[in-house]
């Protein structure tokens, strides 16, 4: 019966993985199936200026490299490549929308995840290479609805609660 199932190790990891999938992949599938969103290819600007919140430094980063670094920070590289690709498109779409409504005096974006997006500098690990390959496979692709890039808001964890998109 249910009481015979141990709650250690792999069972907890599987449960957490299921929660993550429910909070990330299911909404993407819902959008893909029920809302007519197209994926268009657009030309990316060459670089963005990024304010590093922790140090106050401003870095110039190639646009697609920035997308890979955000995906690297926002989603575990152990996820399937297709999930990483979906996150890359959402990240790129969100980034374009943030760039349209610039809120920083000295930089395009910042590394404060409560204001812009999480960011983690790339490295030479296999995990980063996997993420960078997923980003490269979707290079310049964004989600579009009625001819405009969507505001692809997303979160790493909802704590079991979400809010209406209009808020």
The pTM for the full model equals 0.71
Q: Average pLDDT of the chain? A: 77
Rounded distance, CA 167 to CA 163, Å?
7
Handedness of CA 93, 54, 131, 33 (dihedral sign): negative
pLDDT given for residue 103 in this prediction? 81
Q: What is the pLDDT of residue 39?
A: 55
Q: How much of the chain is helix, strand and coil, in % rounded to 5?
A: 45, 15, 45
148 beta partners: 145
pLDDT for 105: 84
Closest CA to 42 of 159, 148, 151, 162: 148
Residue spans of alpha helices (H) in 75-120: 81-100
Q: What is the pLDDT of residues 116-141, one digit of tens each?
A: 889 999 999 999 999 999 999 998 88
Q: Is the pLDDT of residue 112 over 70?
A: yes
CA atoms of 139 and 144, how far apart (whole Å): 15
**Quick check: 144 and 37 in contact, CB under 8 A?**
yes
Q: Which pLDDT score is estimated for 99?
A: 85
Above 80 in pLDDT, residue 22?
no
pLDDT tier, 87 (very low <50, low <70, confident <90, very high otherwise): very high
CB atoms within 10 A of CB 22: 12
| Burial letters 31-66, b for 16+ CB under 10 A, else e | beeeeebeeeeeebeeebebbeeeeeeebebebbeb
Three-state DSSP at 140 gives coil
Span 31-82, pLDDT tens digits: 444 444 455 545 556 888 999 999 999 999 999 999 999 999 999 999 999 9
């Amino acid at each position: 019966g249910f009481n015979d199932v141990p709650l250690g190790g792999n069972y907890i990891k599987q449960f957490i993985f299921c929660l993550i999938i429910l909070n990330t992949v299911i909404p993407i599938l819902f959008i893909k199936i029920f809302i007519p969103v197209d994926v268009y290819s657009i030309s990316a600007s060459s670089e963005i200026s990024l304010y590093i919140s922790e140090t106050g430094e401003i870095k110039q980063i190639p646009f697609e490299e920035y997308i890979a670094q955000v995906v690297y920070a926002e989603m575990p590289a152990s996820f399937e490549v297709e999930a990483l690709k979906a996150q890359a498109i959402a990240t790129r779409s969100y980034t374009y929308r943030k760039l349209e409504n610039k809120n920083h005096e000295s930089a395009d974006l910042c590394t404060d995840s409560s204001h812009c997006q999480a960011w983690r500098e790339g490295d030479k690990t296999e995990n980063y290479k996997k993420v960078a390959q997923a980003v490269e496979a979707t290079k310049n692709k964004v989600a579009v609805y009625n001819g405009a890039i969507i505001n692809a808001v997303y979160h790493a964890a909802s704590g079991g609660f979400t809010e209406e998109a209009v808020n």
